[in-house]
Structure 1
């Protein structure tokens, strides 16, 4: 699907993403975890070689196969699925980087598994994510991820495998002579948008489309982030709001695959920051169980907008990495229920402990689930001085 040259370009693009995402400089001999699904082995091998060239130590780890996941979550006892191997915390605490290559061989194999068991496994391992988050704040760790085309994703999206690969090729600029240089230019354009948004004193945001009317409180001491190298591709501009100020209705017209389940037409009604009613055209029971995973699962962790002028993605990809960055005719907005991103705190990251997070309304959860709206929409910012400004309309930022 990809030539040797395209594989090398993809690997160099991921290196740009990783080195951009990490605020500290890499040092020779540091460890970089390469986590991959089996189908992505050609890219994993190319990336392994590049990391060796950079003087770092690649640590390859293959994800569980679909059969392994069915066995683990289906047959595993609560003790088994909650167990964390000795040494994982020490290993995570010494990582300098992580690159994940997403290439699922199946999207539906976990459909018959109790989602609460998947949730318990995520909760048990959340402390590892917390370790990485703290290392990222100190500049000692960075991460990036990408997708590799598989038949499972192509079939779920309604594309042929070649069409799916072409979407990846377009979205990641792999046909360009130097994709990393193209990404650097997108990065600079996004910097301009973020500076414009961060210069506003926004009291709240109102998102209006045919089926959505939602109020979001950006929160105190927040900053807009995006195009940071963390995701390849990524065109979104986002923040983690104060979950307590979420009111109204949000509708995700784009389908979503999660834990083997397909959901369509998710409608969430928020009151005083929490989802008080959820509906779905398909997968309603699964949605309800996800929202009940833990105390923070029914609260908002992220609000995001994508400018259609940045993104070349114009097809449903059955993969959140691409779908949350959909450009298409009207761009997109998405919200995530569950965990917030601590790096959207505008102050000194080192002071953002659990108490400070709670004070500022940063949400805590083992869940982080992106739900995408691609309808034509208007986003209006009410400023603290009472003025109202349209910041986004029909797929474009109005800066």
Structure 2
């Protein structure tokens, strides 16, 4: 087997979920990721864990959602029971067709998320990690050769995550102590938000692989201003381009997109919390050096900021604070490589993608 796959599996089992003897571990993956599932299964066996493998198929999901009446969509009780019983889950993405869900009604996608919201919340309390296995379809979406894409993926994943943690912790400490964040990019993005009392988190391979971001939760009613997300959002098999959101009192009061605006509208209409921000994240993985239309990688890319409408991540919300609640959590990206800056409490801490603690930073 490719040693890069072996290393990938080792990171997931030993570093991300820290598998132990007797753990009940669920591995969810499509058929295209079989090699990684095999490597993970061997690692889990060596550590004495119990493994349940669950087949994921976007083709099957498409067939189901297109056939079912929206009013018949209900919570998946079997999935909930499995989620309650497991100790950890490794979820793997690998596309045969990255646009397989493109002709599913957005309202049905919103409905299935709402109905399974409690199961998702239970899963988030377990040890979990989400990762990517490279496929020809994903290489094509990234406009790369298969070999080049494989190298790109494993260069982003098979890293020294402790070293990455140390690098990111410099910004985590700055953000954790801040009260107000001000983000400007060109003349299209100028937004302020309070993060006072929230907890900044250092994403270093425990939940996402690849990792490489520092993120926090805005106070839900504090977001003011306008944001143009100038990198495409790819979700539910469709691309939403040039998303523009205007916030007042923390709520999206205006929105537009150059492409698939109906999908954006459907997401915002999922529930009350879908019109507020649940996350502010800053990409810091320099091993991700190009946009590939895959949010698992793109949001970690250096020189970017991302914001998520919808649910706040529990890790960011200390006891006694209120984070945003929603059935969705959808990240969107702003390019910060030129004519851009991030201010924390009035001090510039990043300009044109370079941090105050990095070589090349200009005040």
**1:361-393 CA distances to partner (integer Å, 9 max, x unpaired)?**
4111111111011132201112xxxxx211222
Pairing 1:10–2:8 present: yes
Q: Check conservation: 2:110, 2:266, Cα contact below 8 A.
A: no
Q: C-alpha distance in 1, partners of 2:20/2:145? A: 42
Matches within 5 A, 1:120-159: 120-133=111-124, 136=125, 141-159=126-144
Structure 1 residue corresponding to 2:349, chosen from 391, 396, 399? 391
Pairing 1:312–2:287 present: yes
Matches within 5 A, 1:175-214: 179=159, 182-198=160-176, 200=177, 202-210=178-186, 211-214=188-191
Correspondence for 2:201: 224
Q: Check conservation: 1:164, 1:317, Cα contact below 8 A.
A: no
Matches within 5 A, 1:1-399: 3-19=1-17, 27-66=20-59, 68-78=60-70, 80-85=72-77, 87-133=78-124, 136=125, 141-173=126-158, 179=159, 182-198=160-176, 200=177, 202-210=178-186, 211-307=188-284, 310-327=285-302, 331-346=303-318, 352=319, 356=320, 360-375=321-336, 376=338, 377-382=340-345, 388-399=346-357
- Following TM superposition, by how much is the alpha carbon of 1:398 offset from its aligned partner in structure 2, in angstroms? 1.5
Q: TM-score, normalised by structure 1?
A: 0.84
- Output the aligned Cα RMSD: 1.8
Gaps of 5+ in 1: 21-25, 174-178, 347-351, 383-387
Q: Residues 221, 158 of structure 1: CA spacing in aligned structure 2 closer, same or farther, 3 A cutoff? A: closer
Q: TM-score, normalised by structure 2?
A: 0.92
Q: Check conservation: 2:198, 2:216, Cα contact below 8 A.
A: no
Correspondence for 1:176: none
Task: Give the structure, 1 or 2, with the largest relative contact order (CA under 8 Å, sep 6 or more).
Answer: 1
- Following TM superposition, by how much is the alpha carbon of 1:79 offset from its aligned partner in structure 2, in angstroms? 5.0
Correspondence for 2:360: none
Q: Check conservation: 1:33, 1:60, Cα contact below 8 A.
A: yes
Q: Check conservation: 2:232, 2:293, Cα contact below 8 A.
A: yes
Partner of 2:228, secondary structure, is strand
**1:162-218 CA distances to partner (integer Å, 9 max, x unpaired)?**
222121022123xxxxx4xx11221222233323432x2x23111001121011211
Q: Aligned residues, how many? A: 354
Partner of 1:190, secondary structure, is helix
Correspondence for 1:349: none
**1:228-278 CA distances to partner (integer Å, 9 max, x unpaired)?**
521111111000111210011111111121112111111111111111111
- Following TM superposition, by how much is the alpha carbon of 1:119 offset from its aligned partner in structure 2, in angstroms? 0.8
Q: Residues 227, 75 of structure 1: CA spacing in aligned structure 2 closer, same or farther, 3 A cutoff? A: same
- Following TM superposition, by how much is the alpha carbon of 1:80 offset from its aligned partner in structure 2, in angstroms? 4.2
Partner of 2:182, secondary structure, is strand
Q: C-alpha distance in 1, partners of 2:298/2:198? A: 29
Partner of 1:184, secondary structure, is helix
Q: Check conservation: 2:198, 2:217, Cα contact below 8 A.
A: no
Q: Check conservation: 1:264, 1:282, Cα contact below 8 A.
A: yes
Partner of 1:93, secondary structure, is helix
